[in-house]
Amino acid sequence: MSDDISLDKKPKKNWFKEGKSIFLIITAVLAFRSMLFEPFKIPTGSMIPTLSIGDFILVNKFSYGFKVPFSDWFSDPIYITNPTAPQRGDVIVFKYPNDESLNYIKRVVGVPGDTLMMVDKVLYINNKKVEVSKVDGKPYLDSMVDMYKNRKFDFLKTQTGEASHITQHEVGNDYAANFGPITVPENKFFVMGDNRDNSADSRFWGFVPFNNVKGKAILVWFSLNVPLPSSPPGDNWKLRLWKIGTLID
């Protein structure tokens, strides 16, 4: 009689069942991102000082209404609830109208029906001057990558709609000191970067259709700039622990 102990054969894996589970998990994650919240990374300085290069942000995808999952991946979004429009002052992520494969982030300064113009860098909305006041820029300069620190900026506390935020204007840069008047069409929005003299925005490429809006930026959850080989000189490493968890105004 043999003393060998025969090992039981391992049960065959049910690859179909495991594959189904993985598929459901991936689908749930993608649906979460499509309907609720989605992370983005800030690649440029157009929203400085509100958002820095290397900020990782969270975008609320249902700020303006719940969408059918994935409906905005291939066409205009389909809303489950009645959609609501972005308001002046909201910081929004949207599909760039001239190339919808790209995501942009800017601040809404004009809503449908608004008439906008800028005179010597002073913004007017419906013939009313947007009030600003100078503030100390040192805290904002400290958080910037070096490529911006050799320039001179004015930092202005600005009230756009319900949002109180800081804009910066580069002294001697007349990149877009004047425009308009221009009236915002129905279902479209006029957006600008808070880094007013270093932002390609509605002043140059036009309005953002409502269907291009992906959601409202609400939170910075991490902030680390990592220079790339293609980065311009002065784009240095920058870890900003103090920005973690800060709300976006």
| Catalytically annotated residues | 46, 106
CA angle 220, 42, 122 (to 5 degrees): 95
Q: Which two tokens stand for residue 50?
A: 């509100």
Nearest Cα neighbor of 129 from 139, 138, 137, 119 is 119
User: Residue 225: which residues within 8 A CB-CB, separation 6 or more?
Assistant: 52, 53, 54, 145, 235, 236, 237, 238
**β-bridge pairing 91-95 and 179-183:** unpaired
**CA 125 – CA 144 distance, rounded (Å):** 30
> Cα–Cα distance between 116 and 176 in angstroms, integer?
14
Whole-Å CA distances, 236 to 130, 226, 230: 34, 7, 12
Residue from 140, 204, 125, 190 nearest 170 by CA: 140
Phi then psi for residue 76, to 5 deg, are: -65, 145
DSSP 8-class letter at 201:
S
Rounded distance between C-alpha atoms, residue 236 and residue 162, angstroms? 34
Q: How close are the terminal C-alpha atoms of the chain, in Å?
A: 81
